[in-house]
Amino acid sequence: MLLPNGIRHLPGYLDRRQQEALVEAIRAVVAEAPLYTPAMPGTGKEMSVRMTNCGVLGWVTDKQHGYRYQPTHPVTGRPWPAMPPVLLELWANIAGYEKQPEACLVNFYNDDARMGLHQDRDEQDLAAPVLSISLGNTCLFRVGGLNRNDRTLSFKLSSGDIVVLGGEGRLCFHGVDRIHPATSTLLKNGGRINLTLRRVNP
Ligand SMILES: O=C(O)CCC(=O)C(=O)O
Ligand SMILES: [Mn+2]
């Protein structure tokens, strides 16, 4: 399968022990910064994915103010927890970008959640790649081109896989069509966690 230029799929990048360590780190993040249900700008329609963040900035959305980065949790008003060192290390090894990531969006998908086709374009620094880590149940990931109507292709992302959207592929449309239940034993109650590391400021 030929992916668009700039998009890399690294299957099985993280072994089971590394995946477990990441889940532990994310549990600590969620204990401090609980998952909340984001809403679409304008319509206020709730997303099926629950979210939180770690790092100096977090990506949030709500009916009133739309997509943005901010330094505090929209529900608790507290600063986001620090980015776990293991994530900074992954970025250093994979991103090939000098500056550190500022935001790690934590997406939690229960087995019937999905994410519509979209671009990641709320960052000012588009030279930095987006690094996306999959944990738990397998999903069907879809990727297209730079225009919403471009042809798309889909492939599965399993626990421990990493996807990099960089270079010419940085603004490619992408989304998650579905989660395949009971395809991983990593998360006791099923579902899928996706961690998306991003540099926001140039
Ligand atoms: O869950 C995924 O694999 C993708 C998540 C994503 O595209 C995003 O949070 O912007
Ligand atoms: Mn995205």
Instruction: Supply the pTM of this predicted model.
Output: 0.98
Count up the domains in the chain and report the number. Answer: 1
* pLDDT band of 1, cuts 50, 70, 90: confident
Q: How far is the CA of 75 from the centre of ligand 2 (A)?
A: 22
On whether the CB atoms of residues 166 and 129 are closer than 8 A, the answer is yes
What domain range is 192 assigned to? 7-198
Q: Probe ligand 1: pick from 52, 174, 200, max atoms within 8 Å of CB?
A: 174
Measured in whole angstroms, how far is the alpha carbon of residue 110 from the centre of its chain?
A: 15
Ligand nearest to the CA of 191: 1
- Burial grade of 26 (CB within 10 A; 0-12, 13-18, 19 or more): buried
149 in a domain, yes or no?
yes
Residue 191 sits in a domain whose CATH number is 2.60.120.590
- Is the beta carbon of 132 within 6 A of some atom in ligand 1? yes
Q: How far is the CA of 157 from the centre of ligand 2 (A)?
A: 14
30 in a domain, yes or no?
yes
- For residue range 24-43, list pLDDT tens digits in order: 999 999 999 999 999 999 99
